[in-house]
Chain A
C-alpha cells in the first residue's frame, strides 16, 4: 500500500533522476569512462528511499522515458532505447535500486559508509551488470563470456560512482533520514 508520502517520494526521486541526467558528465582522470550522474541515481534511490520506494522511483523514471521524454543523459529517450542491445542495463536499474534499498534496510541499525558502499556496489553494480550482460548476450547474439568481457571496461567508473553514492547517501541519511523503523 502506497501512502501519499510514498507516492510523493517516488515521483520526486524520479524527477531527481532526470535532473541528474542534465549534470555534465564528469571525466575521471585515470580512466577513460566519464561519471554520468544518472546511474549513480539508481544507487541513491535505493540507499535513500529503501527497497520498495527506490525501485518504484526508478521504474517511474523509465516510464517517463518510455512515454517519450528525452530524460536519459545526453538527451536520449523514447521507446527506442528499450529495444537496443543495451536495453538490459536500463531494465536492470529498478531491480538494482531495489536490491540497494533492501540491503540498506537490513543495515539500518548501523548505517556506516562501508555498509552503504556494500549495498551500492551489490545492487548498483553486481545486479545491474548481471542483468545487463545477459541482455547484451541475448539481443546481440554474443556468447555470455564475450558479452561480460566487453562490459568489464565500465566497471572502474561504476566503482567510483558507488563510492560517491555511498558518501552522499551516508550524509543524507544522517541529516534527513527517510528509511525509518
Chain B
C-alpha cells in the first residue's frame, strides 16, 4: 500500500516518529502564545526551510501544500473583511505553519513506522479497555482490504456500465456493501478457525 512517504537520507527522516509528533504538539501549543505576525512569518519560513533540510522534491512538497495555501488565502480574505487584516494574518499563519509541519512529518515518516508509533501511543489506554493488539489487527486488515475493495468498486462499475447504471451511486454502493459484509462473515470464520485470541 503506497503512502505519501518520500524516501531520502536526511536528519529529519532519521528522527523517531514519536519525537516528530511531540514536536508538532509542542509547536501547536506554543504558536497559540505568539501574536506577532512578523515572528510567525519567520517561523513559517523556517518550517518551509525544513522541507529543504529533508531534501524533499519541491514539486511534491508544493502539491501537498497547495490546498492549505489556497484555503489560507481564502480565510485571510474573509478574516480581513470581517475582523481585520492583521489578526487575519496571525490566524492564517498559525494554521499554515502547523499544516506545513504535519505535512513534513507525513512525507518523512514511513506508514509502518507511523502505525507502530500509533500503537505505542495507545498503550497507556490499555487501562481504559483499549487493546493495542486489536487496534493493530484492525489497521492491518483495513490496509490489506483497501486495494481489494477498490478493485471490487471497479468490477461493479464495469458490470453496471453494461446496464447503463455506472453513474448511479446506489447501483454501485448496494452491491459493494453487501459483498463486503459477506466477505466479513467468511473472514471472521477464517480468523476464529485459526484460534485467534487477542485477550
Let me know if A86 and B102 touch, CB within 8 A.
Answer: no
A85–B73 alpha-carbon span in the complex (Å): 12
Let me know if B71 and A79 touch, CB within 8 A.
Answer: no
Q: Which of A63, A77, A82, A139 is close to B118, meaning CB atoms less than 8 Å apart?
A: A63
| Contact residues of A between 8 and 64, Cβ < 8 Å to B | 8-16, 18-20, 22-23, 26, 35, 37, 40, 44, 48, 60-61, 63-64
Write the nearest CB–CB distance from A118 to chain B, whole angstroms.
19
Let me know if B176 and A80 touch, CB within 8 A.
Answer: no
Across-interface contacts of A66 in B (CB, < 8 A):
114, 118
| Contact residues of A between 68 and 90, Cβ < 8 Å to B | 68-71, 76-80, 82-86
A50–B134 alpha-carbon span in the complex (Å): 19
- Any B CB within 8 A of the CB of A168: yes
| Contact residues of B between 1 and 36, Cβ < 8 Å to A | 1-5, 24, 28
| Contact residues of B between 133 and 168, Cβ < 8 Å to A | 134, 137-139, 141-143, 145-146, 148-150, 152-153, 167
Across-interface contacts of B106 in A (CB, < 8 A):
68, 77-80
Across-interface contacts of B83 in A (CB, < 8 A):
141-143
Given the known interface contacts A7-B141, A8-B141, A16-B149, the answer about A80 and B188 at a Cβ–Cβ threshold of 8 Å is no
- Any B CB within 8 A of the CB of A172: yes
Q: Which of A12, A40, A44, A139 is close to B142, meaning CB atoms less than 8 Å apart?
A: A12
Q: Which of B71, B87, B153, B173 has the most CB of A within 10 A?
A: B173
Interface size on B, residues (CB 8 A): 72
Which label, helix, strand, loop or mixed, suits the secondary structure of the B interface?
A: helix
- Any A CB within 8 A of the CB of B46: no
Across-interface contacts of A48 in B (CB, < 8 A):
177, 181
Across-interface contacts of B4 in A (CB, < 8 A):
68-70, 77-78
A44–B173 alpha-carbon span in the complex (Å): 10
Interface size on A, residues (CB 8 A): 59
Given the known interface contacts A11-B138, A60-B139, the answer about A142 and B169 at a Cβ–Cβ threshold of 8 Å is no
Across-interface contacts of A148 in B (CB, < 8 A):
none
Let me know if A44 and B138 touch, CB within 8 A.
Answer: no
- Any A CB within 8 A of the CB of B125: no
Given the known interface contacts A19-B176, A60-B138, A84-B99, the answer about A8 and B187 at a Cβ–Cβ threshold of 8 Å is yes
A70–B31 alpha-carbon span in the complex (Å): 27
- Any A CB within 8 A of the CB of B82: yes
Across-interface contacts of A143 in B (CB, < 8 A):
82-83
- Any B CB within 8 A of the CB of A130: no
A86–B181 alpha-carbon span in the complex (Å): 32
Instruction: Output the nearest chain A residue to B196 by Cβ-Cβ distance.
Output: A4
Across-interface contacts of A15 in B (CB, < 8 A):
141-142, 145-146, 148-149, 180
Q: Which of A63, A79, A172 is close to B174, meaning CB atoms less than 8 Å apart?
A: A172
Across-interface contacts of A113 in B (CB, < 8 A):
none
Write the nearest CB–CB distance from B31 to chain A, whole angstroms.
11
Q: Identify the B interface with A (CB < 8 A).
A: 1-5, 24, 28, 64, 67-68, 71, 75, 78-79, 82-83, 87-88, 90-92, 95, 98-103, 105-107, 109-111, 114-115, 118, 131, 134, 137-139, 141-143, 145-146, 148-150, 152-153, 167, 169-170, 172-174, 176-178, 180-185, 187-188, 191-192, 196
| 29 contacting pairs across A/B (C-beta < 8 A) | A10-B138, A11-B145, A12-B184, A13-B180, A14-B138, A14-B142, A15-B146, A15-B180, A16-B149, A18-B149, A19-B149, A19-B150, A22-B150, A60-B138, A61-B142, A64-B142, A64-B143, A66-B118, A67-B139, A68-B110, A69-B4, A78-B107, A84-B95, A85-B75, A86-B71, A140-B95, A141-B91, A142-B75, A176-B181
